[in-house]
Amino acid sequence: MDRDVKISALNVNFYYGKTLTLKNISLDILRKKVTALIGPSGCGKSTFIRLLNRMNDLIPGARVEGQILLDGFDIYHPKTDVVSLRRRVGMVFQKPNPFPKSIFDNLAYGLTISGMRDKRFIEHKVIDSLKKAALYNEVKDRLHDNALMLSGGQQQRLCIARCLVVEPEVILFDEPAASLDPISTRKIEELILELKDEYTIAIVTHNMQQAARVSDFTAFMYLGELVEYGDTERIFTVPREKMTEEYLSGKFG
Ligand X SMILES: Nc1ncnc2c1ncn2[C@@H]1O[C@H](COP(=O)(O)OP(=O)(O)O)[C@@H](O)[C@H]1O
* Least distance (Å) between residue 140 CB and another protein: 23
Q: How far is the CB of 86 from another protein (least distance, A)?
A: 4
The answer to whether the beta carbons of residues 121 and 144 sit under 8 Å apart is no
- Binder to Mg ion among 46, 56, 106, 184 (CB under 5 A)? 46
- Specify the DSSP class assigned to residue 80: -
Region of 34-42, 157-165, 177-185, 242-250 interacting with ligand X (CB under 6 A): 34-42
Max Cα-Cα span within the chain: 56
Q: 115 in helix, strand or coil? A: coil
Closer CB to another protein, residue 34 or residue 171?
171
Contact set for another protein, span 49-88 (CB under 8 A): 53, 55, 58, 60, 83-84, 86-87
**Measured distance CA(228)–CA(131) in Å, rounded:** 36
Residue 57 CA from chain centroid, whole number: 17
Q: Does 53 bind ligand X (CB under 6 A)?
A: no
- Per rule CB under 5 A, is residue 218 in the interface with Mg ion? no
In angstroms, rounded to a whole number, what is the distance separating the alpha carbons of residues 142 and 49? 34
The correct pick among 23, 32, 95, 142 for binding another protein (CB under 8 A) is 95
3-class secondary structure per residue, 238-251: CCCCHHHHHHHCCC
User: d(Cα 12, Cα 58) in Å, to the nearest integer?
Assistant: 18
Q: Are 96 and 155 in contact (CB under 8 A)?
A: yes
- Min dist. Cβ of residue 94 to Mg ion (A): 6
Which residue from 65, 3, 45 is spatially nearest to 28, judged by alpha carbons? 3
Q: Which does 47 bind (CB under 5 to 8 A by kind): ligand X, Mg ion, another protein, none?
A: ligand X
Q: Could you say which of ligand X, Mg ion, another protein, none residue 16 binds, taking C-beta under 5 to 8 angstroms by partner kind?
A: ligand X
Using the rule CB under 6 A, is 15 a contact of ligand X?
no
Residues that bind another protein (CB under 8 A): 53, 55, 58, 60, 83-84, 86-87, 90-91, 93, 95, 97-101, 109-110, 113-114, 146, 148, 159, 162-163, 166
